[in-house]
Amino acid sequence: MIKVSLSLILSIALFIELSAQSDSLLKLWYSHPAEKWVEALPVGNGRLGAMIFGNPTEERIQLNENTVWAGSPYNNANPKALKALPVIRKLIFEGDYEKTQDMANKEIISQTAQGMPYQTVGSLYLNFPGSENYTNYYRDLNLEEATATVKYSVDDVEFKRVVFASFPDQVIIVRLTADKPGKINFTASMNSPEKVVVLIPNKNEIELDGITTDHEGIKGKVKFSSLVKIVNSGGSITSNDTSLSVAGADTATIYISIATNFINYHELDDNRLNRAENYLSEALKKNYTEALKDHIAYYQQFFDRVKLDLGVTDSVKNPTDVRINEFAAGNDPQLASLYFQFGRYLLISSSEPGGQPANLQGIWNDQLYPPWDSKYTININTEMNYWLSEVTNLSEMNEPLVQMLKELSITGRETAKEMYGAGGWVAHHNTDIWRMTGAIDGAYWGDWPCGGAWICQQLWYKYIYNGDKEFLNSIYPIMKGASEFFNDFLIEEPEHKWLVVSPSVSPENSPSIHPDYSITAGATIDNQLVFDLFTETIHAAEILGKDKNFVKVLKSKLKRLPPMQIGLWGQLQEWLHDWDSPDDHNRHVSHLYGLYPSNQISPFRTPKLFEAAKTSLIARGDESTGWSMGWKVNLWARFLDGNHAYKLIKDQLKAVEIPKEGKSIFSEGGGTYPNMFDAHPPFQIDGNFGCTAGIAEMLLQSQDGFIFILPALPDVWSSGNVSGLKARGGFIVSIEWKNNKVSKIKIKSLLGGNCRVRSYDKLAAAGDFKLEEAKGENPNPFYIVPGIKQPLISPEAKIKHVELKKSYLYDFKTEAGKEYTLDLSE
């Protein structure tokens, strides 16, 4: 009797869950288990990550913890740089690039460690005997609840697994249920490619203890412990030396706790087991239902801020891998909104306040030596990881990046002094958990001292989106330190007497006249970065009423930076000299930093540079690595060309070949894996984040002195709506549109101030406020635009006139906390 009612209750519970799930379109779902890692589904809480394969017979849950990195605190500055610097600078101005690069390889590039790899913890395996003949298979990743689910039937029993990485409880929880009692039978075991010991500390627990590897002469000192505890209802648990077996249970809940001895980039202790035990015992105080509820509630405070609807077609009935295969040729606008929300999901899941920033793979990595060490490549990739953070209303998620920058400003101070005898702080093109700041990987790639300057942009954006003066005050020393470095490091070039960064490179590219040598002085991106850094440090100092004398110095140096230049074939020059080739298809488009993410180039303020930048990007081409295409979505959005931006989304969402086990393919053929991870290839998360930012950029921009509504809407998204995007100055914007025309805009002002709006459609105020035609400069201080120098233009260059679609520009006054509605004017 009791058995019958229990089974009935279980079936009802399953039915309720099933029907609740089928409503949501915000799911990645599949009709077969994952075989390869790039088919498995990611969950994470910033600190812990797991990839779920969902095989009915053998579940693999591959585990990560974001401080499990090889090595230990170290510094890799090359002390020979100080003496070599004047010689190298002279050689560059003499044009002897071969000798320069040779010397830089030995005397600037680190002769010790080149960065430590981020490593996996290992995997938990769950073996389910007798499940070979399963039917009704289904698995998904639910983006609205941050849970992964697997379902299947064996004989007449329906089984279900739910996995999530709890944000509030700091453990990964796996819940196993069946619609009939006593049917849960499995064996749990763990392994890892790291040096580990696995033991059974008590009858329902597995413990895995390990230490990360030595690497390039740096001793591996990160110790980690993972505790796996099974709580069963009904049935029994038995154990042998290394595994646990559950028999005849009604349900089983598995808690996975992981902790390390990492305290911060220069301190480790010996407390990892205590930490892991504490997380576990705290988590066990809640029952499963409460834990799930708290997890979802925490996650939804962030995820629910933005909704996007680009339309729905029949394609949504297909599994996600099929939809990716068909995307380019089909009509599946919901896949683009799913990809957008997946990007936001990944950022919330891989970058939480108090933790590490998302690395090249976020937090998900199953290897000891992942491609490029899965570290922080700061000549584009790490920055791209955070482009979506403000506009898609996830500002909290960039806190780990801010913290990393604080730490780099400490380690980088030593490096600036030791290598260049300069004040302030410097970082080159890579860093890792130990915040190394030396130059690595060979001069062709690594002799680039502007990594810190680029990440400083994110600090400034965080301020201009949120207007928090206290925050500005707290990060001002970082910006000032970066400016101090360039104040000392810039030198005068002989021809025009401009101040330039030297030695440097235009990231990972070389001019076709000497393709083997990249080292240069005054690369366009460097000029743009130093321009932004100085301009923003000046603004910050003025807002905070600080450092009058330093501001004077920066202002005078700012005037002496090179202008942007338009070369022979009408392109924006990548280098100080007119060396660009129209046949150069390098994935990096560094000189277009000035267009995106920066706002130095604008169709309204600098039309010639705008056209030149477009000429450069057209020559570079569309298809490339994943992250390169993600960048190009943003660039085409800034060119106000929605159809071209959409073409790049199609390229980005192209299904790519799955890498062979253990091998990483590196090629230019980027796209998307079945689990929607971006393919460089191999997997690199920046493409996911870059393209997500790009989709936002097509719908809303705010860098050019106004909020631009639907600046680059492609024809295929003719009707839709978005809510909760953030514009500079703390405006939360929602837009509805129909047949390519705006129908309603809602703007909530968080900070007050003038709101200036540009739209291709005539608008009217709906409510009690005055909408006026905008004139002159936007008085809102968060909408200040940079005054850049007039470009130098090659006499041979033919420059097209910018054709802009007619648009309307309005102003209205706002009060903090109030929402304003605008309609299409009749």
Chain residues in the site for ligand FUC (CB under 6 A): 360, 372, 377, 381, 508, 587, 625, 627, 680, 684
Look at residue 600 and give its three-state secondary structure.
coil
Q: How far is the CB of 380 from ligand FUC (least distance, A)?
A: 7
At 208, give phi and psi (nearest 5°). -120, 120
Q: What share of the chain is helix, strand, coil (3-state, %, to 5)?
A: 35, 25, 40
Residues 308, 333: contact at Cβ < 8 Å?
no
Cα–Cα distance measured from residue 568 to residue 793, given in angstroms and rounded to the nearest whole number: 8
| H-type alpha helices, 490-547 | 524-544
Looking at the Cβ atoms of 383 and 580, the one nearer to ligand FUC is 383
| DSSP state letters, 7-49 | HHHHHHHHHHHHHHHHT-S-EEEESS---SGGGSEEEE-SSEE
The residue among 164 and 627 lying less far from ligand FUC, judged by its C-beta, is 627
Q: How far is the CB of 678 from ligand FUC (least distance, A)?
A: 11
Give me the least distance between CB of 586 and ligand FUC, in Å please: 9
CA of 565: how far to CAs of 10, 24, 50, 300, 578, in Å? 70, 50, 48, 47, 8
Q: Which residue has the tokens 């905070």?
A: 544
How far apart, in whole angstroms, are the C-alpha atoms of residue 233 and residue 256? 18
Q: How far is the CB of 454 from ligand FUC (least distance, A)?
A: 13
Task: Tell me the one-letter amino acid at 331.
Answer: N
Q: How far is the CB of 141 from ligand FUC (least distance, A)?
A: 25
Q: Smallest distance, Å, CB 814 to ligand FUC?
A: 41
Between residues 232 and 381, which has the closer beta carbon with respect to ligand FUC?
A: 381
- Considering beta carbons, is residue 109 or 178 the nearer one to ligand FUC? 109
CB-CB contact of 533 with 483 (8 Å) = yes
Q: Give the residue with the Cβ less far from ligand FUC, 104 or 259.
A: 104
Cα–Cα nearest to 464, from 217, 239, 294, 704: 704
Q: Tell me how far, at minimum, the Cβ of 385 lies from ligand FUC, in Å.
A: 11
What whole-number distance in Å separates Cα of residue 326 and Cα of residue 329? 6
Q: Nearest CA to 388 among 731, 782, 690, 699?
A: 690
Nearer to ligand FUC, 149 or 377 (CB): 377
Smallest gap, in angstroms, from Cβ of residue 539 to ligand FUC?
Answer: 31
- β-strands 671-672, 565-566 pairing: unpaired
Q: Which is nearer to ligand FUC, 404 or 755 (CB)?
A: 404
Q: What's the CA dihedral at 504, 505, 507, 509 to 10 degrees?
A: -170
- Residue 628 CB, shortest distance to ligand FUC, in Å, is 7
Residue 793's DSSP bridge partners are 566
- Minimum CB–partner distance for residue 668 and ligand FUC (Å): 9
Which of helix, strand or coil describes residue 577? coil
Q: How far apart are CB 118 and ligand FUC at their closest, in Å?
A: 12
Q: Which is nearer to ligand FUC, 360 or 609 (CB)?
A: 360
Q: Cβ(276)–Cβ(259) under 8 Å?
A: yes
Nearer to ligand FUC, 427 or 747 (CB): 427
Closest separation between CB of residue 376 and ligand FUC, Å? 9
Tell me whether residue 534 or residue 627 sits nearer to ligand FUC (CB atom).
627
**CA atoms within a 13 Å half-sphere pointing along the CA-CB vector of 656:** 28
Q: Considering beta carbons, is residue 448 or 760 the nearer one to ligand FUC?
A: 448
CA separation for the pair 101, 137 (Å, rounded): 57
For the bound state, the minimum distance from the C-beta of residue 680 to ligand FUC, rounded and expressed in Å, comes to 6
CA atoms within 13 A on the CB side of 284: 17
With contact defined as beta carbons under 8 Å apart, do 170 and 280 qualify? no
Residue 701 and residue 723: Cα distance in Å, rounded? 14
Q: How far is the CB of 446 from ligand FUC (least distance, A)?
A: 10
Structure tokens at 174: 């796996």
DSSP string for 539-568: HHHHHHT--HHHHHHHHHHHHTSPPPEE-T
382 vs 615, beta carbon nearer ligand FUC: 382
Which of 226/624 has CB closer to ligand FUC?
624
> Residue 607's closest CA among 808, 788, 811?
788
DSSP 3-state assignment of 184? strand
- Which is nearer to ligand FUC, 417 or 587 (by Cβ)? 587
> Minimum distance between the CB of residue 158 and ligand FUC, rounded to whole angstroms?
43
CB 165 within 8 A of CB 182: no
SS3 of residue 444 by DSSP: helix
Peptide bond preceding 682: is omega within 30 degrees of 0, i.e. cis?
A: yes
The single-letter code of the amino acid at 492 is E
List the structure tokens of 400. Answer: 């780990």
CB of residue 687 to ligand FUC, shortest distance in Å: 9
d(C-alpha 202, C-alpha 184), whole Å: 21
Nearer to ligand FUC, 164 or 683 (CB): 683
State whether the Cα torsion 408-414-415-417 is positive or negative.
Answer: positive
360 vs 521, which CB is nearer to ligand FUC?
360
When the beta carbons of 337 and 377 are compared against ligand FUC, the nearer one is 377
Q: How far is CA 314 from CA 109, 234, 243, 311, 740, in A?
A: 55, 43, 46, 10, 22
CB of 381 to ligand FUC, least distance (A): 5
Q: Tell the smallest beta-carbon distance from residue 752 to ligand FUC (Å).
A: 41
